[in-house]
Amino acid sequence: MIVLDREHKIFTLHTQNTTYQMKADQYNVLLHTYYGSRIDHFDLSGLIQCGNRSFSPNPNEAGRSRDYSLDVMPQEYSTCGVGDFRLPSIELELPGGSHTADLRYAGFHLEKGKTTPEGLPGFHGGEDEAETLVIFLKDSAAQVTVELYYGVFESFDLITRAVRVVNHGAETVRLCRCASLCLDFLQSDLDMITFNGHHLTERCPDRGSLRPGIQSVGSVRGISSHQHNPFVMLCGRDADEDTGICYGAMLLYSGNFEAAAECSQYENSRLVMGIHPYHFCWTLEPGGTFTAPEAALVCSPNGFGEMSRQYHRAIRKHLLRDPYSGRRKPILVNNWEATYFDFTADRLVEIAREAAALGIELFVMDDGWFGSRNDDNRGLGDWQVNLEKLPGGLEALVPRIQELGMKFGIWMEPEMVNEDSSLYRAHPDWVLHVPGRSPSRGRGQLVLDFSRRDVRDSIYDQMKKILSSADISYLKWDMNRSLTDVWSASLPAHRQGEVFHRYVLGVYDLLERLHRDYPHILIEGCCGGGGRFDGGMLYYTPQIWCSDDTDAIDRLRIQYGTSFCYPVCTMGAHVSAVPNEQNGRITPLETRGITAMSGAFGYEMDLGKCTAEEKRKIRCQVERYKAYSDLIHNGDYYRLSSPFSDSTYTAWEQVSPDRRQALVSVVQGCTNAAPPFYTLRLKGLNPAFQYQTDLDDALYSGASLMNAGYPLPQMQGDYLAFQIFLKAVE
């Protein structure tokens, strides 16, 4: 609910459990007055105290008064060069060469519903699902307006932010920084949690107290990256899974980003998040506009778990565009780890036949089916079937897969090209490169200049020919390197600071065309696994291959970290062979199944090599997943332990919205002789319900399971796992 106090220029955004408030003050500076647990009917600007602070200048309008300074006031969208020395949200280069921005309140607009920013990903909601507030700020000298967009999804405690800048002047202005959100706090006794790692180890949480000065994470790789995720949290020092205030900030963007928190001189703090200012500079001609990507905030007064569940619900309902929405997604088998580049049509059909016999429903042909792609140094860019490997092309292969009762999926890496390809030989100028320099290779490949429409059109023509040549149900869109040599032959020198962002817009453009032309195709995002696991990609690709690391024990950590923001239905997760291809670890099949089941489930192994007993187990796993997939994907997710702090076991739980069913998954670490007896306290149940478990047939009350716990069975052996299904009985 959005409450307006026109007279005092107070804007209050209420969600079910939280309140967010802004107020334009006597100088029309838009102050941020509050964000936290819900408070009704109150002007919270009284919390802000002013006073004379040396070296914190006063705006000209304040005259001789020294009691007001932008440097100490909580700002809604911080400016630069005019008195606030903390993290700026916006930086304008004006025609005279100054780098300043001075924004004052100039009006508002309110509308029902929530639309997505043009050409960008975003949460969407109908008129009865969300409201949008637009606040106009104006820099009079620059003749620039900044529109701050707030989408309020009340029942999800979700507030979206987006920013649009318009040059109303007669001269060109350059935008050197344009954050998507700025969030000021009057206090700084907060912790910041970020999600970090590298290829094969993504999104590991790191928690640290805010220190004086600036602390930040970000990416300048052109992708949101394996190294840092564009989702961060701030929380009270005492906050944990179930208690304490916490704030999530998610940027719906798949390129360079920065999330920076500053603890300032008088112990206030500020979080600024948006496109990374490195090599960003957007030229706004007269009448020109720029839209910064959307960000989404969730505040939970009840710890991290509730924040995550609100994100999960909101992402599922208002962000993902999934052709399987409301239906179970097919269980897939992918041939990558089974064959790598070395396959024939018969070999693929063999894998599919084995899979179909086990109840698997979709066969995905990974890398290696096109051009001269017999290893990863050649072929990218030539999206024509390699007829030596697949005689008769997809027209011959796909029906053979479908005869087995399976759907067919295909892998592509549209943004890339190898020098050893017909595409590169014809268009060497289509790659990102700096004149006079030979571009760096990554995985032996170069990056196509997706900021260029002609390049995108040509790739899309090739993609369409493939996607229309057979009945294709699924596309894995891969991307396997960071961007370097970022320079576009299509833009003049003063616009080269736009290329990083235009590249991302180009990727979104092609993905949007796929949505338009092939709405039935389920697209899985992938970037060497989880290098572009962000809210931006999720808008186009409702699931993302979580990591190239398929080891079940490593995956516990990756999926745990990922779950802080992103729902399990978005995490591509497969059972693979042992010893694991990435780390050599041997884990039981049951453990691999239970871990992968908390994701968009599939297999990635040569099922023909499995023993009869393994096949029997896989058949059971597949049946179990089919039975529980609604609970797993649409239920509420509870982290019961952390794989980072507890080596004994990792446990999590999914609870149905009516709380009548729950599935608890437990994976043990390394075994010990004569271990203690553990009880596991469950969460999210109805304390008054009686639950029956499928493990021991006993009856437990919800209250006892949540407060006293469930006695965990003792197991001998490393990395064993089990699930407990609970059902409320009348």
Supply the minimum distance, in Å, between the C-beta of residue 525 and ligand DGJ. Answer: 10
Supply the minimum distance, in Å, between the C-beta of residue 332 and ligand DGJ. Answer: 12
* CB nearer ligand DGJ, residue 322 or residue 366: 366
Crossing angle, helix 589-597 and helix 552-562, to 10 degrees?
A: 10
Supply the minimum distance, in Å, between the C-beta of residue 366 and ligand DGJ. Answer: 5
Give catalytic status of residue 449 as yes or no: no
* CB nearer ligand DGJ, residue 230 or residue 529: 529
Q: How far apart are CA 33 and CA 208, in angstroms?
A: 25
Supply the minimum distance, in Å, between the C-beta of residue 378 and ligand DGJ. Answer: 12
In the bound state, the residue with its beta carbon closest to ligand DGJ is: 367
* CB nearer ligand DGJ, residue 102 or residue 413: 413
Cα dihedral 349→355→359→365 (10° resolution) = -70
* CB nearer ligand DGJ, residue 20 or residue 545: 545
Supply the minimum distance, in Å, between the C-beta of residue 457 and ligand DGJ. Answer: 25
* CB nearer ligand DGJ, residue 181 or residue 507: 507
- Please give the distance of CA 144 from its chain centroid, rounded to a whole number: 31
Which of these is catalytic: 91, 202, 361, 534? 534
Identify which of 569, 562, 534 has the alpha carbon closest to the alpha carbon of residue 120.
534
CB burial class (10 A; 0-12, 13-18, 19+) of residue 75? buried
Q: Is the peptide bond before 117 cis (omega within 30 degrees of 0)?
A: no
DSSP 130-199: -EEEEEEEEETTTTEEEEEEEEEEGGGTEEEEEEEEEE-SSS-EEEEEEEEEEEEES---EEEEEEEEET
Residues 6+ apart with CB under 8 A from 374: 341, 342, 368
Residue pair 635/598 in contact (Cβ under 8 Å)? The answer is no
Supply the minimum distance, in Å, between the C-beta of residue 448 and ligand DGJ. Answer: 16
Give catalytic status of residue 485 as yes or no: no
Which of these is catalytic: 206, 350, 376, 614? 614
* CB nearer ligand DGJ, residue 135 or residue 467: 467
Element (H, E) at 491: none
Kindly state the tokens that stand for 519. 């709405």
Supply the minimum distance, in Å, between the C-beta of residue 404 and ligand DGJ. Answer: 22
* CB nearer ligand DGJ, residue 180 or residue 576: 576
Under the rule (CB under 6 A), what is the footprint of ligand DGJ?
336, 366-367, 411, 478, 480, 526, 528-529, 545, 548
Residue type, 217: V
- Please give the distance of CA 237 from its chain centroid, rounded to a whole number: 25
The phi and psi torsions of 501 (rounded to 5 degrees) equal -70, -40
The label of the residue with tokens 């599939």 reads: 602
* CB nearer ligand DGJ, residue 408 or residue 411: 411
DSSP 399-468: HHHHHTT-EEEEEE-TTEE-SBSHHHHH-GGGB---TTSPPPPBTTBEEB-TT-HHHHHHHHHHHHHHHT
Kindly state the tokens that stand for 540. 């186009």
Supply the minimum distance, in Å, between the C-beta of residue 562 and ligand DGJ. Answer: 15
Supply the minimum distance, in Å, between the C-beta of residue 519 and ligand DGJ. Answer: 24
Residue pair 624/226 in contact (Cβ under 8 Å)? The answer is no
The Cβ-side half-sphere exposure at 257, using a 13 Å CA radius, reads 33
Residue pair 1/19 in contact (Cβ under 8 Å)? The answer is no
* CB nearer ligand DGJ, residue 257 or residue 545: 545
Q: How far apart are CA 464 and CA 229, in angstroms?
A: 32
Nearest 5°: the CA angle 29, 135, 508 is 125
Which residues are catalytically annotated? 534, 614
